[in-house]
Amino acid sequence: NAGVTQTPKFRILKIGQSMTLQCAQDMNHNYMYWYRQDPGMGLKLIYYSVGAGITDKGEVPNGYNVSRSTTEDFPLRLELAAPSQTSVYFCASTSGTSGPYEQYFGPGTRLTVT
């Protein structure tokens, strides 16, 4: 199993550009999550999904969009990038069929918006 994979590892965007952060898992997990991590702030939930076709907002969804067309993939879209979106982004997944459910994390994408 590759677990949770994320691409790219690093990216620099100019203000106003858009991009998609890719996330995939091969564990047949129902639940998937996107977090951002800023120094001293812990992890903040951006969006999550409980299955294909179902997504919901987390704490900090503004400026982001997601879709979940398959169980495996959960891409995060940034529209009109802003410096405030400079962060490290983590995708995670969990089974959702029996608990408690520890989350499995990808290696992260480090994004800089200048």
Size of the site for other proteins (CB under 8 A): 25
Say whether residue 2 binds other proteins (CB under 8 A). no
Say whether residue 100 binds other proteins (CB under 8 A). yes
- DSSP letter string, 60-102: --TTEEE--SSSSB--EEE-S--GGG-EEEEEEEE--SSSS--
Cα–Cα distance, 76 to 68 (Å, whole number) = 10
Candidate segments 16-24, 37-45, 63-71, 73-81, binder of other proteins by CB under 8 A: 37-45
Say whether residue 12 binds other proteins (CB under 8 A). no
Among 74, 87, 106, 113, the residue binding other proteins under the rule CB under 8 A is 106
Say whether residue 74 binds other proteins (CB under 8 A). no
- Which residues are within 8 A (CB) of 10 and not within 5 positions of it... i.e. 6 or more apart? 109, 110, 111
- Give me the least distance between CB of 79 and other proteins, in Å please: 24
